[in-house]
Chain A
């Protein structure tokens, strides 16, 4: 089954304790992205990756890191989480990797990770 998986689904942590949220897709997609969803703000893009070893900042990258060492995986790293990073996080992937033809490819979303930082 084609899917995007995220782990963990729920996480409660304390301020300053480094954490990683994993994301994996089995569709051989080139483009992957992380979003956070907050009430009234919709989804805001944190980071995205056009392909292996190619990443770029989205609209709200502060406090986050990402890496793309393999095509299928795109982990989100919070080096020193703070309470304002409490949110619902989604990973997504799509075919688009730079070619104009695929630029309109829709994104496939993971089930989400609900993070609480106390």
Chain B
């Protein structure tokens, strides 16, 4: 069965500092990896995805993520965090042979001024 682990329930960072949200996954075959963000009282919004190709993918709002096959990781990063980045972030994986999308438990990011 496929799974996603987000080891940190919450990440605190000062505005202007780098932000990293960790994600590791387990899936059969090649993975399709996604990051979504959820602002309070809103649905999830797509940030970025890795399908194939370059291991470093860039997405919305200045976010990027690096796919590391050997470590089965897909960490989300932002060089300089903003207070408006405070939200709940979800990593998700889909196997190349399957149709189910499995989410991690989510990481709450709090960016302090």
The judgment on whether A and B are partners is yes
Size of the chain A interface, CB-CB below 8 angstroms = 27
Is A103 located at the chain interface by the 8 A CB criterion?
yes
Contacts of A44 in B (CB 8 A): 103
For the complex formed, measure the closest distance between the CB of B9 and the CB atoms of chain A, giving whole angstroms. 8
Partner of B46, one of A33, A45, A107, A112: A107
For the complex formed, measure the closest distance between the CB of A58 and the CB atoms of chain B, giving whole angstroms. 6
Size of the chain B interface, CB-CB below 8 angstroms = 25
Instruction: Evaluate contact between A43 and B99: CB separation under 8 angstroms.
Output: no
Q: Which residues of A contact B (CB under 8 A)?
A: 4, 31, 33, 35, 40-45, 48, 50, 56, 58-59, 90, 92, 96, 103-104, 106-112
Q: 5 A-B contacts, Cβ less than 8 Å apart? A: A43-B44, A43-B92, A44-B103, A59-B102, A104-B51
Extra pairs beyond A4-B43, A106-B34 (8, CB < 8 Å): A40-B105, A43-B90, A48-B99, A96-B99, A104-B32, A104-B49, A106-B46, A109-B45
Q: Which 4 A-B pairs have the closest CB atoms?
A: A109-B43, A104-B51, A106-B46, A43-B103
